[in-house]
Amino acid sequence: MKSEKNWFRLMLGYAENSRSKLIGAVILSIISITSGIYPFYCMYRIIDAFVQDTVTKGYVVGWCIAALVAFAVKVLCFGLSTGLSHWAAYEVLAGLRKRVADRFMHAPLGTVQDHSIGEIKNIIVDKIENMEPPLAHMVPEGAGHLVLPVVSIISLLIIDWRLALASIATFPIALVCMGLTFKISGENFDIYNRSNAHMNSTIVEYIEGIEVIKAFGRAGVSYEKYAGAITQYKKFVIKWLRSTWVTMKLAFALFPSTMVGILPVALVLCNGGTITSAEAALAVMLSISMVGSLAKLEVFSESMRQLKNNVGELQTYLEMEELPEPAERASVSSYDVKLEGVRFSYTGDEKDEVLHGVDLTLPQGSFTAVVGPSGGGKSTVAKLIARFWDVTSGSITIGGVNVRDMPLSQLADLVSFVAQDNFLFRTSILENIRLGDPKASDEEVIAAARAAQCEEFIRKLPNGYDTPAGEAGKRLSGGEKQRIAIARMILKNAPIVILDEATAFTDPENEDKIQQSIAALTKGKTLLVIAHRLSTIRSADNIVLLKKGGIVAEGTQEELLEKSPLYRSMWQAHIGSKSWSVSSAEKEGNINVQNA
Ligand SMILES: Nc1ncnc2c1ncn2[C@@H]1O[C@H](COP(=O)(O)OP(=O)(O)OP(=O)(O)O)[C@@H](O)[C@H]1O
Ligand SMILES: [Mg+2]
């Protein structure tokens, strides 16, 4: 996989726009860490003067000041380096989060829905956040911590090559242990990720489904699934840590143990007169100076593995399939919508095909209704026109232009879609409606709300239009949410309007009023209405009967009643349900007769 090989380059690629800050952070870190060695050299000069018996007060003070200045440079440069690297890191995280969200926006809806909310939250929040320590610490500090041992070993080499060799005496065993750790733990990384994602999804599902769990009194079963995922994760992580515990701890202990080799060698060399005692002291100090850096490098090597994994996973989201779209807006001659030989399968698999060659024309300014049994493909037709998915074969055109040949933003301008279930954002009702046209004034928003029969219930809310809709609109009833979505549609004022069961949850009295408003406001627009209540679409110019993914009949109400037995039986069932509702209302002494 491409991302396997170049993960480090990919990560630096994420930081492209913050490159100068990261380079600055690396340079400052190298200056900081190497200035950290200088005080050891100052100590060496002082010890040496003591050994030579040439020490003076001024000499000691001079070298102490030099050590202090080096230390101050170290602290200052480190502060500046981490400041810059954090700045860069958070810029990168923000950029990545926007890129993933943008990718989701342009991907087919099915690709987005293939990922659970838990998975998406895990990648956008956690996985991207996990890139902060590597970017802010590993890249700049790692460079410094790599340079310091190299400078120390070269300095040891200058004193005596045997000292340099002794300082890395424990490296071979440490590297073997580290290699073993990586091998054992690497094999489990995928399981770790899967287990983590499963836990995340289960938690989200448990919280999201809490209403159903309560309603069916299934708290026990659902809790078991939730607790099971957490226990499974815990068990796995403990087992995983156990499997690498010995080799990892050995590697961590041996890698920075520079003193093990250098102390005896320095003493022997000093004893034999090959090096002075001050040089022996300097060698020991240099080996001590390396300890911190080597230990840090080891920690970084661990986070590097995690990072490699994160980058790989993130990359699958950043490379997620997008709906192809041109950059230039197309010139659309009319607002006719035409479906020709449309076949579609949600899975891409022929055996799962849900539309089997649908031909349908919605002339500009006409009112078309699509009716039919549940699961017949009505909503699918609507979603394909709005290009939530691309057709498997056949074509959908607007004014002669294939919807694939216009930018998604242009299509969004042309089509208003009120879906079966509508989402409200966690903001005020006013802003939720304004989504239809962000430039609309408060008065225009309120006028749209009034036309959609929202005014009455909104006025009753504690803060009227400024009342928050509550997370995902949980505060409002199904019918109220639908009316807000209709107000959004009215405000958007697009030339093509698709209403998918848009008034299904609304009570008959309000539905009647909304129908009148919709009829008035969509005059001249290309209107596609999907409805189960057949009385609401009686006046349609064309009624299309869709069953099992194919059109079985179309025509006006009268024509269909005459020629389609299915439509006739649906109509009869509809009238039957209406007379039933009338008679039950009569029984309660609350007569509300509607003409069927
Ligand atoms: N996201 C999806 N992934 C896979 N299959 C789907 C998806 N959405 C719908 N389907 C399937 O496609 C078929 C048509 O569904 P569609 O929602 O278009 O029916 P519908 O006519 O709108 O039904 P209803 O009247 O109940 O709303 C159904 O068999 C349904 O199970
Ligand atoms: Mg539907």
pLDDT one-digit tens code per residue, 342-386: 999 988 888 889 999 899 999 998 999 999 888 889 999 999 998
- Whether the per-residue pLDDT at 591 is higher than 60: the answer is no
**Interval between CA 20 and ligand 1 midpoint (Å):** 51
CA atoms within 13 A of residue 345's CA, in its CB half-sphere: 8
**Cβ-contact 1, 312 below 8 angstroms:** yes
Q: What is the 8-class DSSP label of residue 546? A: E
- pLDDT in the model for residue 474: 66
Beta-strand pair 393-398/401-402: antiparallel
Q: 53-75, pLDDT tens digit by residue?
A: 898 999 999 999 999 999 999 99
Mean pLDDT over the full length of the chain: 84
**28-32, 292-296, 488-492, 577-581: least confidently modelled range:** 577-581
Ligand nearest to the CA of 544: 1
- Whether the per-residue pLDDT at 586 is higher than 50: the answer is no
Q: 532-578, pLDDT tens digit by residue?
A: 888 788 888 999 999 898 998 888 888 888 888 888 888 888 777 55
Q: Which domains does the chain have, with CATH numbers?
A: 2-170+255-318 (1.20.1560.10), 337-587 (3.40.50.300)
Q: 510-542, pLDDT tens digit by residue?
A: 777 777 777 777 778 899 999 888 878 888 899
- pLDDT in the model for residue 24: 93
- pLDDT in the model for residue 595: 35
412 ligand 1 Cβ < 6 A: no
Beta-strand pair 367-371/353-362: unpaired
The neighbour count for residue 125, using CB atoms within 10 Å, is 12
Q: Cα–Cα distances in Å, from 13 out to 89, 169, 315?
A: 12, 37, 11
Of ligand 1's atoms, which has the minimum distance to the CA of residue 383? 18
- Whether the per-residue pLDDT at 484 is higher than 80: the answer is yes
Ligand nearest to the CA of 388: 1
How far is the C-alpha of 447 from the C-alpha of 441, rounded, in Å? 10
How far is the C-alpha of 562 from the C-alpha of 541, rounded, in Å? 16
346 ligand 1 Cβ < 6 A: yes
Q: What is the 8-class DSSP label of residue 168? A: T
Q: Radius of gyration over alpha carbons of the chain, in Å?
A: 35
The identity of residue 179, as a single letter, is G
Nearest 5°: phi and psi at 9? -65, -40
Mean pLDDT of 459-469: 83
CA atoms within 13 A of residue 511's CA, in its CB half-sphere: 17
pTM: 0.71
- Whether the per-residue pLDDT at 186 is higher than 50: the answer is yes
Candidates 347, 349, 350, 378: which one to mutate for ligand 1, based on the most atoms within 8 Å of Cβ?
A: 378
